[in-house]
Structure 1
Amino acid sequence: MRARKPQLKPERPWFSSGPSAKRPGWDPGDLKGAFVGRSHRHPEGRARLREVIARSAQVLGLPPDYRLAVVPGSDTGAMETAMWNLLGHTAVDVCCWESFGYTWLTDVAEQLGLPEVTVHLADYGHLPDLRRVDFGHDVVFPWNGTTSGVRVPDAEWIPQVRDGLTLCDASSAVFGMDVDFTKLDAVTWSWQKALGGEGAHGMLALSPAAVERLAAYRPDRPVPELFRIAREGHLLDDVFDGFFINSPSMLAVEDVLTSLDWCERIGGLPEMLARSRRNLEAVAAWVVDHPYVRFLAADPATVSSTSICLTFTHPVLDGLPRQERSRFTTRLCERVEAEGAGYDIEGHREAPPGVRIWGGPTVDTDDIALLLPWIDWAFAETLGEYG
């Protein structure tokens, strides 16, 4: 197998799945008006945090009766805030089909030590049988499996009326996929995914049912200060009104505001979703023409348009142990990176060996189209090392 070395390279060769690529046209000079060297609790600092909350809710079309907050710790902090405050009132179902689902399962079963936990498992590339999920229980799941490239196809499997709460890690889905917030009671994401923002800051949206749970239920465990959003049966309203629990980076706040500016300027959420969809379409057309590569997601309806995960199939590779297949993939990705044609495209360490291309809305389709021939070339060159 031979492939000619490409001549053209992506203009922006950043394809990491987190932190993801900055928005097109981003420049550090855009942050010159940041409220730095000042207290975020000053009225102007708090106004900027309020602006992030209000504009995020508006762009995403969050239901008007949902509450939204900026919280510490990126998406991880937001999910743990939701779980530490809300879970334990009833039994819990946890859906796992990739590494982050298993992370939340560890929190639920081991860290929180909840006694009634039902687990719905699937191997990488597949979804569990969502028909078996009991919505009389609280349900914890990711909308999109960032490390597997497998997403739920829609929210039809979630009933509109349910006794339990749905807690959804949507970090690699919001702004890049059509997420039905009306089916979700606690929704989390970070700035560093589809908006290309900086790390360490998370967002937590709560439905009226989740707010009601906070008033009715007091966990029989200590809740760390960083996770505390309720006290003595009352929601801490300030947290949902621009009061950050610890000290946020006002540079990061300014950065995400410029990303929201860009989002609104290009046409809002519809164009963000369309950009991500076009990125997936470019990769899908390439996969059709290249028999040595396939989506990790087995069902086309579940292929992620943001964390696009691919695996290689070839007679030489199919007989190799996993460790050697991982070395092959690492070598391939190193070749692409050494040419400056694509950075951070190797799949997650816990996933089957392959590549992962971030296809969220801050990535241009033209850049993905220019990356793919470099993967062809690197595949052929690396395969040649195996005789």
Structure 2
Amino acid sequence: MNETAKPHLRPFDPRFSCGPTKKHPGWSLDQLSNAALGRSHRSALAVSKLREAIDRTMALLEVPEGFRGAILGGSDTGAMEAAIWSLLGERPVDVFAWDTFGARWLKDVRDELKLKDANVHEARGGLTPDFSKARKNADIVFTWNATAAGAMIPDTDWIPDEREGLTLVDATSAAFALELDWSKIDVLTFSWQKAMGGEAQHGMIILSPRAIERLKTYTPSWPIPRMMQLKNADGLNEGLFEGKTLNTVSLLSTEDYLLSLKWAAKEGGLAALIARTRKNFAVLSNWVAATPWIDFLVEDTASRSPVSVTLKFADPDVTAMSQEEQWAITRKMASLLDRENAALDVAPHVSGVAGLRIWCGPTIEADDLAALGPWLDWAYVEARRAD
């Protein structure tokens, strides 16, 4: 292929990682000076900050009255596994999985807990399972937006209005970036390091009144690791919902998360965050539409994530190659873009399809995405010349 000139304009911020994601606009390390450093996470000051983080989260996500939230260790994984191990087993279970993270919940249900009446519905390669197979009498486990696959649920119509079971939803790359239908949610988990650009290892769980009632009245037959215990000897662990975490939380990360929540409120709240995400996705979509060598991995537009956007090669000369050869092009592109400080962390998840994966969540600026396109074109040409 012919050599192309490097673009003149670089993205102001080249960080497009799908997690941990870019900090919000205007972020500065100096803004964390009020962190409760050197204090016990059980001190009154620390607990007040953790409770503030919970309260601000619930307000920003517009969580209905009666739902309760808590901070857990182990990021979204810890929060989701706490829900799975604490709540499942009372009734049948339907698990819907279409990327590597959803497969983790499937493994918990099928291989670790070994639940007998468990139906598994899987898909791969940018596709989603047949959601119509959800049973009214079953608990349902699924991912709202599969970060690695770039595919999300198209709607919530498939979840029965009069469901008998609970819905356990991994929403780590959906919370704060997509509209959530709280009428179809009983358990929602996510982490700080996705849409809000927070630091790793901190997960959150939000429980509906139905989920809280299950916790109070049902005890699984298996032992639950301490880090996953939502109950204690007195019943429901009320302290969790007051900011009294099970393990030592990072108060520096807590201050950072609070900063992002305050930024979001000033931006205009949840509607503004969703609008920023949609604007970002529109900019990237325009580039994809005008670029013949790339296309969306997810063909169904209703299931195509506007947040964690996965792209595949569309050049016939490249699509005729093996996935190993295509991954070689991906790695070369990523190396070139990193060297030029033009785009960082745009390779797909290692379990995915060769191509690109670009975060378009609310902390990203649309102007940076507009500047990104020409650099991706340049890197593609350079990578093809080298193959």
Pairwise TM-score range, normalised by the shorter structure = over 0.9
**What SS class does the counterpart of residue 381 from structure 1 fall into?**
helix
1:111-260 aligned within 5 A: 111-231=112-232, 234-260=235-261
For the Cα contact (< 8 Å) 1:20–1:193, is it kept in 2?
Answer: yes
Deviation per CA, 1:165-188: give whole Å up to 9, x if none: 100000000100001122111100
Q: CA deviation at 1:209?
A: 0.7
Partner of 1:76: 77
Q: CA deviation at 1:233?
A: 7.6
**What SS class does the counterpart of residue 204 from structure 1 fall into?**
strand
Q: CA deviation at 1:385?
A: 2.4
Q: CA deviation at 1:25?
A: 1.1
Distance (whole Å) between structure 1 residues aligned to residue 316 and residue 184 of structure 2: 44
Partner of 1:18: 19
Q: CA deviation at 1:42?
A: 1.2
Amino acid in the other structure paired with 2:47? R
Amino acid in the other structure paired with 2:343? G
Deviation per CA, 1:237-295: give whole Å up to 9, x if none: 11111110011000001000000110011111111000000111011111111121111
Amino acid in the other structure paired with 1:148? A
Q: CA deviation at 1:110?
A: 1.1
Q: CA deviation at 1:302?
A: 1.3
TM-score calculated relative to the size of structure 1: 0.98
Distance (whole Å) between structure 1 residues aligned to residue 310 and residue 293 of structure 2: 14
1:44-123 aligned within 5 A: 44-123=45-124
Partner of 1:299: 300
Amino acid in the other structure paired with 2:90? H
Distance (whole Å) between structure 2 residues aligned to residue 169 and residue 315 of structure 1: 36
**What SS class does the counterpart of residue 84 from structure 1 fall into?**
helix
Matched, 1:341 2:351: no
Deviation per CA, 1:180-222: give whole Å up to 9, x if none: 1221111000000000001110000001111111112111111
Distance (whole Å) between structure 1 residues aligned to residue 136 and residue 79 of structure 2: 22
Distance (whole Å) between structure 1 residues aligned to residue 146 and residue 220 of structure 2: 29
**What SS class does the counterpart of residue 187 from structure 1 fall into?**
strand
Distance (whole Å) between structure 1 residues aligned to residue 141 and residue 202 of structure 2: 21
Q: CA deviation at 1:47?
A: 0.6
Amino acid in the other structure paired with 1:193? K
Q: CA deviation at 1:18?
A: 0.6
Partner of 1:315: 316
Q: Flag the 1:320–1:233 CA change in 2: closer, same or farther, 3 A.
A: farther
Q: CA deviation at 1:232?
A: 5.2
Q: CA deviation at 1:234?
A: 2.2
The RMSD of aligned alpha carbons is: 1.1
**What SS class does the counterpart of residue 9 from structure 1 fall into?**
coil
Q: CA deviation at 1:75?
A: 0.3
Matched, 1:32 2:33: yes
Gaps of 5+ in 2: none
Amino acid in the other structure paired with 1:294? D
Deviation per CA, 1:314-334: give whole Å up to 9, x if none: 122122111111111111111
Amino acid in the other structure paired with 2:170? D
Gaps of 5+ in 1: none
TM-score calculated relative to the size of structure 2: 0.98
Amino acid in the other structure paired with 2:50? L
Q: CA deviation at 1:135?
A: 2.9
- Percent of matched pairs sharing the same residue: 42
Distance (whole Å) between structure 1 residues aligned to residue 166 and residue 180 of structure 2: 16
**What SS class does the counterpart of residue 139 from structure 1 fall into?**
strand
Q: CA deviation at 1:153?
A: 2.0
**What SS class does the counterpart of residue 259 from structure 1 fall into?**
helix
For the Cα contact (< 8 Å) 1:218–1:233, is it kept in 2?
Answer: no
Amino acid in the other structure paired with 1:40? H
Distance (whole Å) between structure 1 residues aligned to residue 5 and residue 120 of structure 2: 48
